[in-house]
Structure 1
Amino acid sequence: MTTRASDEAGGGAGRVQPDGHGTGQFSRDRISSDVVAAEAGPADHESGHGPDCGDQGGDQSNGSPGPRQHADDPEGKAGLPPRPGRRIDPGLYAVATPIGNLGDMTPRALDVLGQADLVLCEDTRTTGRLLGHWGVRAKLAPYHEHNAARMRPEVLRRLEAGERIALVSDAGTPLVSDPGYKLVREAAGAGHQVRAVPGASALTAALSIAGLPTDRVLFLGFPPAKPGERRSSFAGLAHEPATLVFYESPNRIARTLAELAELLGPRQAAVARELTKLYEEVVRGPLPELAARFEATPPRGEIVLLIEGHRTPAREVAGEGDALPAGGALDAAAVEKLLPPLVKALGANRAARLLAELTGAPRKAFYARAAALTGDDDAEGEE
């Protein structure tokens, strides 16, 4: 799972990875005047891994194997499956890589990456360290939002020449909130084979353990960064029945949860972080409680946020008008606990309005207390 904003990524706002070329002893082969291909292998990189590729040296305590020898080992003595005798067909391969635990690297992914004439990656340093860990030698070239438009014609030319090209992201399944869809579309449109080599995905991993419905899912990538766009986007999801899935950064998760609680109500949600890593954690609960928790204790690591879809309250179906959603009631102790972090995240007026919606009590009952927390004693000043 990576965080980037790009027309290639098909949505989601976030940080942009640096335009880095791999480190170590690189070859000087060029696939164009703009891109240097790097030879990745165990002699070319340190044994460590980037933040998206698990702990250095493999997390033995978390089921990740340690370093391997060269993948060419014909006897499979390095601990990897023997290299299949059949050469992979020419074409473009979208190859999934681990999101944290190196043990999730599949034998087929290693084989395809080892046979590829070129591996396109977001950051050659990250992918180079990963492949070096497994003893796989591959020629690497960066493919990201800054060079994608320049790279695509050259990649298509190489496919036309019958080459085998792999596309990976820094972690997880390519094209899931990552660059690449335009390359896939143009390669398929030109008649080249485009094949999936599936594996780890933060999206599917989180869905499998969140405890929310999975029969209908809407993946939304990263929320918009601008406050107005975020609120408009969230408000537009109020009546969406599918389980909602976002990627979010740890420094924004508390604010996102608070805004979603205000606009969607006390829906059940799950915050999944550090998936497949040593400190994997899934926190489940109503949106207001999660907002309060992470405002008080900011999390670390990359995050997947899942929220239950809209459900028509049973009392509303029965004709009782603006009934609160089932499970929306909060007792006095819960309100007292939620009020300070909600005021901090939303301000006195919006926090009071949210608590009024959750409890059915008048907004003024909460606004006086909320205003006191902000140092504003003019309780009559609310809109």
Structure 2
Amino acid sequence: MFSCACHIGSMDQSSSQIPIRRKTRAALSNASGRFDLAREAVDDGWYAEPEATSVVTEIREEVARSLISYNRSPDLPFDRSINPYRGCEHGCIYCFARPSHAYLGLSPGLDFETRLIARPNAPEVLRKELSARSYKVATLAIGTNTDPYQPCERDFGIMRACLEVLQEFNHPVAIVTKGTLVERDMDILADMATRGLVRVGVSVTTLDPDLSRRMEPRVPAPARRLATIRRLSAAGIPVRIMTSPLVPGLTDHELEALLAAGAEAGADAASWIMLRLPREVSALWQDWLREHEPDRAEKVMARLREMHGGRDYDPRWGQRMRGEGTYATLIAQRFKLACRRLGLSEKSPALRCDLFARPVQAGDQLALF
């Protein structure tokens, strides 16, 4: 359900399927999602320069009726998560969350990174759901679909307000982000860390700033993300460096260097996930490869298919994150050896759930003792 929309700029809907390089955007097309009507680009003669060099971000507000999403995936370390935003302006071309935009009738391509949805009432809904007598506490994950610290969070502040609710309830939370705006909330995170209630994962996919800018155009530079790890760690907040996704034939040679940089910055743990290409992501990724890395395109896709039984992607539990076969095994061994050498843990201690308590709210009956 949408409230009165809050628009920031507007979006050029022309050239929706024609591959065009747009400034600071990763997707080269805006093809229809699987639930949308087909789109066809038409030149009506009005545009003297059909190859627009930029696309402005549009943000709408959504009134959330529920917030906590539950999953039963056996290969995920959490069973619940929340998303303050739909879509992500960071625009990582490889993002496995892109297909989720299709459920909104929007394209997983440019729409995903330019037509965003904010959920300003998320903190109020979260408070209501945590206050329910039937609620059973477990670590809540944030950032597993779209980044809670993407640029629009600076204006909306939804993530910070949600953290304030979790802090009040003493609720454990695991955060994943590429955004340096997480530093703004170090006061809350440091306080929660003293009680074993929080862990932050910072994703660093490459140390090459040029490749990063092309592959994840609106994400802070790799060096800047490493600085964020350093600042969070110095504040006493446990931080994991996430070398994800690892791209075979493109970034895999950086694995040890990424882990070493994370350890030097103060990370105490590490993780990795192989590049995943579910649904519409595969075509978007291959378009990007042909445009930006044409000499490596065949090698990258051959490696991926080798790990997924000849397909671009294998969605089976236990296989989708890492793949299988000789190459996947080699990456896993390299990761394990590097972590052992650098003193990085592959599995972090469980966050505390025993401190969870519903705060007294207006209308509650006070206890006599």
Q: TM-score, normalised by structure 2?
A: 0.29
TM-score (norm 1): 0.28
Which structure's CA Rg is the greater one?
A: 1
